[in-house]
Amino acid sequence: MKRKIKIILTSHNINNNPKGSIIKVSKGYAFNYLIPKKNAEIGTKKKVKHITMFENIQKKKQEINERRTKEITEKIKKISKISLYKKTGENDLIFGSVTEKDILKWISVHTNLKINKEQIKLLDIKAVGKINAKIQLKQNLSENIQINILPANI
């Protein structure tokens, strides 16, 4: 019967496993190939425990981040539209333009969310009307919000 030992990989793509993973291989493969070429090291109890501890910490952080993004998306979905009042001139053109800063200010006042300016994708707005803005929460996750620019009665 073959006896397998636990090893910790120190380089990528050995048996399609990432660096730092713990795998079981035969003694001959480990001692004659992987360890001499510095592709792996012997998995002692302390090293295995250390790696599993860091994997558990990483999983907890990932769960917390997923929970936070879920809460933020739920709060953003509750916002049906944002109404901003701007001083207008002729032909319903506004003085200046609507920026990400204006939207951030509205979101922070009404929902107490902390969003970065870089997360808001907005076209150049210089007229009164309805426009859609995109809030990028993660790389593959974004939400659309309708922005109403209304003339201010000053």
List, for residues 31-82, the tens digit of each pLDDT value.
999 999 999 999 999 999 999 999 999 999 999 999 988 888 888 888 878 8
**pLDDT, tens only, 103-129:** 888 888 888 888 888 888 888 888 888
pTM recorded for the entire structure: 0.61
Tell the CATH topology of 74-151. Answer: Ribosomal Protein L9; domain 2 (3.10.430)
Q: Could you please report the per-residue DSSP string of 27-80?
A: HHHIIIIITTTTSEEE--HHHHHHHHHHHHHHHHHHHHHHHHHHHHHHHHHH--
What is the dotted CATH code of the domain comprising 4-68?
3.40.5.10
Residues 6+ apart with CB under 8 A from 103: 82, 84, 120, 122, 133, 145, 147
Domain ranges within the chain, ordered by starting residue: 4-68, 74-151
Q: Which of 7, 46, 49 is nearest to 27 (CA)?
A: 7
pLDDT for the residue 46:
94
Q: Is the pLDDT score of 1 beyond 60?
A: no
Q: Is residue 152 scored above 60 in pLDDT?
A: yes
Per-residue model confidence (pLDDT) at position 114: 81
